[in-house]
Amino acid sequence: MFTKVLVAEDYEIANQGIIKILNDKIGIHNIQEAKYCDDAYLKFRKAYNDKEAFELLITDLSFREDHKIQTRASGIDLIKDIRSVQPDIKVIVYSQENRPDKINMLFEKLDINGYVCKGQHAIKELIACVNGVYQNNTVRPPELTNNTAINTMIHLDDLDMMLLEELSQGFTKKEIRTKLKKQKISPNSESAIDKRVSKLFDDFKAKNTTHLVAIVKDLGLL
């Protein structure tokens, strides 16, 4: 079992709850906690530099703003920075976020090892998640494994991501079409781009381009 764990959670009750589960239910006792991402990163770096690295990071996604200026404002920032130093550290996200698309993004883009949604089954799911991740399994929550979630998930290919990136930079569909043609990326016809963009509006239930960009940024896709 993991012997050294870092917990990043800004709510004291949730923080202590995670530690109690790790202590009492799983038998992990070498645990350090942090209420801010920057503090968590500093503890991580100290342990790493002292050659006493953490084996597992359990982090929330959102953290309350404070009077202190934070370099890392979210769990996503924390995961990226820690993984850039120690790529093999195991990561479990423990959050209230239950949108399948955002959870799926964390697995696909950040390669997290497990996810637990805060709620009435969180204790049982956290225990199972830690055990599963320790056994080198990828532990996905019920929000991703039930049929309803699978059917409602939005799947984006490279062209979709390129369109979203260009739209976020303020380019019009006509300008995007010209750019795609110059780069010899297909499909690049006016009708094909119109259909793709319209589908993105429908998938994300966006009212306009500004709304669409705001949604995908909130989901962490851009």
Number of helical (H) and strand (E) elements in the chain, helices listed first:
11, 5
CATH number of 158-218, picked from 3.40.50.10540, 1.10.10.10, 1.20.120.450, 1.25.40.10: 1.10.10.10
Across 14-128, where does the E strand assignment appear? 30-34, 56-59, 90-95, 114-117
pLDDT at 43 over 80: yes
pLDDT, residue 108, reads 87
Q: Which helix (H) or strand (E) holds 24?
A: none
Q: How does the average pLDDT of the chain come out, rounded?
A: 86
CA distances from 42 to 6, 29, 30, 34, 95 (A): 11, 20, 17, 10, 22
* Residue among 89, 62, 92 at smallest CA distance from 77: 62
Please calculate the CA angle 134-97-201 and round it to the nearest 5 degrees: 125
Preceding peptide of 187 cis, ω within 30°: yes
Please report the pLDDT score of residue 154 as a whole number.
64
Q: Does residue 65 register a pLDDT over 80?
A: no
Distance of alpha carbon 8 from alpha carbon 161, whole angstroms: 30
Please give the CATH architecture assigned to the domain spanning 4-151.
3-Layer(aba) Sandwich (3.40)
Residue 24: which residues within 8 A CB-CB, separation 6 or more? none
Please give the model's pTM, rounded to 2 decimal places.
0.68
Among residues of the chain, what percentage have pLDDT more than 70?
90
pLDDT in tens, 109-159: 899 999 998 876 888 899 999 999 999 999 998 877 664 444 445 667 778
Cα 50 from chain centroid? 28
Q: In Å, what is the CA distance from 148 to each residue of 140, 151, 204, 219?
A: 15, 5, 17, 19
Domain boundaries, the chain: 4-151, 158-218
Q: Which two tokens stand for residue 54?
A: 């953490």
Distance CA 26, CA 129 (A): 11
Mean pLDDT for the stretch of residues 170-199: 88
Structure tokens at 143: 């929000």
- The pLDDT of residue 153 is 52
